């Protein structure tokens, strides 16, 4: 039986697509974005995360190997809520085109992360090339499946005028883009780095000011995109 | 829970009352859960003596750990159709309803509950800090209206017990 490794199942998820959903977080992300908010999702193996409690430090294992049937059974508990939300894939887009072709016909919506358009900068900040990602986005946008593009707004990395203009231009040429979700940097993930014993490269970075987020929103809106802040 | 429901239903339903009719069951305490709690001793679930019981079919205060969808699925396991009414309270912070998307999602929650044959759900949209402030400085919060049980009331006019009770109701803030 096919198995995978996940690190969280979030019920009543309100910010990962329309309606009330259950979000399953898979472990083993091929990217390692410098600003990653879920660093426990990068390593494809179970990991130890420490947590301080009143009675001292305790270690927890993050990552569960789970079979398809067991996972589907858990997700189906909230089946009635999905009548109004549907299903979606939230993805970095870094996958072999054959995999995209395999799952695309089964999807109702794709939430596709688009981070940095410049190839060199993309490699520098995420650890991988964006060539496959951009090709996959074109591939998906050429199908019937609607796509929402998600753009993390990371101060000094993704929120520059040039990068935003490039994203607007690239997305504007695609047909099935339903909208754009802007995800401003926040510091909630910082504590996870400590708990994993990793260095938080974004320590000291402040979230973008609301005025800047609004400015970027306007850029996308002038290109006739439906824009939401925070997904 | 379903066993308790069945026992209650069969013990009460169709019993003659003093006016020539028959009794039906309701699962809504209005504010009786505060009074009943005040005369009931400590319980094995950790509830201390004198503390309010849960409101209607709402989870015991602090017991809804798996979020609103789990609460709704549990509450829907009761056969609401055989009752004269049920009460499920949920409390939300204002941020959840800050925009149209949030309001739509709340509507979807209600509709899903009704599709499961849920009967009645009501919401309090305030943060507990506001309620604590209101308790301490009632003159500054005269206009604060909260849904109590089957009705809404000015928070500052409620008894201290009821005020504390509303503060204790679980807040679903971790979205």
Q: pLDDT tens digits for chain B (175 residues)?
A: 899 999 999 999 999 999 999 999 999 888 888 999 999 999 998 889 998 898 889 888 667 778 889 999 999 999 999 999 999 988 776 766 778 888 898 999 999 999 999 999 988 777 888 888 888 988 877 777 776 655 667 788 888 877 887 787 645 443 3
Residue B112 and residue A186: Cα distance in Å, rounded?
A: 32
A 57-86 residues inside an 8 A Cβ radius of B: 77-78, 80-81, 83-85
Domain count, chain A: 1
Minimal Cα–Cα distance from A170 to chain B, Å?
A: 27
Structural domain range at position A164? 88-188+199-229
Q: Is residue A99 part of a domain?
A: yes
Q: Is residue A133 part of a domain?
A: yes
Residue B92 β-bridge partners: B125, B172
Tokens in use for B11?
Answer: 């013990």
Give alpha helix (H) positions in B57-159.
68-75, 100-115, 128-136
pLDDT of amino acid A130: 97
CA atoms within 13 A on the CB side of B45: 9
Q: Is residue A53 part of a domain?
A: no
- CB of A16 within 8 A of CB of A28? no
Tokens in use for A164?
Answer: 């935003």
A 143-202 residues inside an 8 A Cβ radius of B: none
Tell me whether A19 touches chain B (CB under 8 Å).
yes
pLDDT of amino acid B45: 86
Residue A127 and residue A224: Cα distance in Å, rounded?
A: 32
Q: Is residue A71 part of a domain?
A: no
Q: Is residue A96 part of a domain?
A: yes
- The position carrying tokens 């039906």 is B24
Q: Is residue A18 part of a domain?
A: no
Q: Which regions of chain A are under pLDDT 50?
A: none
Q: Is residue A184 part of a domain?
A: yes
- Partners of residue B90 in chain A, C-beta under 8 Å: none
Q: Is residue A48 part of a domain?
A: no
pLDDT of amino acid B9: 97
Residue A31 and residue A48: Cα distance in Å, rounded?
A: 20
pLDDT of amino acid A122: 98
ipTM above 0.90, yes or no: no
- Partners of residue A15 in chain B, C-beta under 8 Å: 175
- CB of A147 within 8 A of CB of A109? yes
What distances in angstroms separate CA B84 from CA A68, A151, B4, one per listed residue? 42, 50, 17
- CB of A19 within 8 A of CB of B107? no
Tokens in use for B26?
Answer: 């309701």
- CB of B77 within 8 A of CB of B55? no
pLDDT of amino acid B107: 93
CATH code: domain of residue A110 = 3.20.20.70
Tell me whether A3 touches chain B (CB under 8 Å).
no
């Amino acid at each position: 039986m096919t198995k995978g490794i996940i690190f969280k199942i979030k019920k009543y998820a309100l910010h990962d697509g329309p309606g009330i959903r259950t979000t399953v977080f898979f472990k083993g992300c091929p990217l390692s974005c410098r600003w990653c908010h879920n660093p426990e999702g990068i390593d494809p193996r179970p990991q130890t995360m420490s947590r301080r409690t009143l009675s001292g430090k305790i270690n927890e294992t993050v990552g569960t190997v789970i079979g398809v049937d067991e996972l589907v059974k858990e997700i189906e508990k909230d089946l009635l809520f999905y009548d109004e939300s549907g299903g979606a894939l939230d993805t970095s887009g870094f996958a072999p085109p054959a995999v995209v072709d395999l799952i695309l016909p089964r999807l109702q919506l794709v939430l596709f992360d688009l981070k940095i358009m410049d190839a060199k900068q993309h490699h520098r900040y995420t650890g991988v090339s964006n060539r496959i990602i951009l090709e996959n986005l074109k591939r998906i946008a050429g199908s019937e499946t609607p796509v929402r593009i998600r753009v993390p707004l990371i101060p000094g990395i993704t929120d520059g005028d040039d990068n935003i203009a490039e994203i607007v231009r690239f997305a504007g040429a695609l047909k099935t883009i339903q909208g754009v979700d802007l995800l401003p940097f926040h510091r909630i993930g910082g504590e996870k780095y400590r708990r994993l014993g990793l260095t938080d490269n974004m320590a000291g970075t402040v979230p973008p000011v609301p005025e800047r987020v609004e400015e970027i929103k306007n850029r996308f809106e002038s290109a006739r995109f439906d824009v939401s802040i925070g997904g | 829970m379903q066993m308790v429901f069945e026992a209650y239903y069969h013990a009460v339903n169709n019993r003659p009352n003093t006016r020539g009719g028959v009794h039906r069951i309701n699962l809504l305490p209005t504010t009786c859960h505060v009074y009943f709690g005040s005369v009931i001793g400590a319980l094995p679930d950790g509830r201390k003596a004198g503390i309010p019981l849960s409101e209607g079919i709402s989870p015991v205060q602090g017991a809804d750990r798996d979020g609103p969808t789990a609460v709704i699925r549990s509450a829907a396991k009761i056969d609401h159709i055989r009752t004269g009414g049920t009460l499920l309270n949920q409390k939300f912070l204002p941020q959840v309803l800050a925009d149209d998307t949030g309001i739509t999602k709340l509507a979807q929650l209600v509709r899903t509950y009704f599709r499961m044959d849920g009967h009645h759900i009501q919401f309090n949209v305030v943060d507990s800090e506001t309620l604590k402030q209101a308790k301490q400085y009632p003159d500054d919060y005269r206009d604060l209206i909260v849904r109590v049980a089957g009705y809404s009331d000015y928070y500052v006019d409620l008894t201290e017990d009821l005020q504390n009770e509303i503060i204790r109701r679980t807040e679903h803030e971790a979205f």
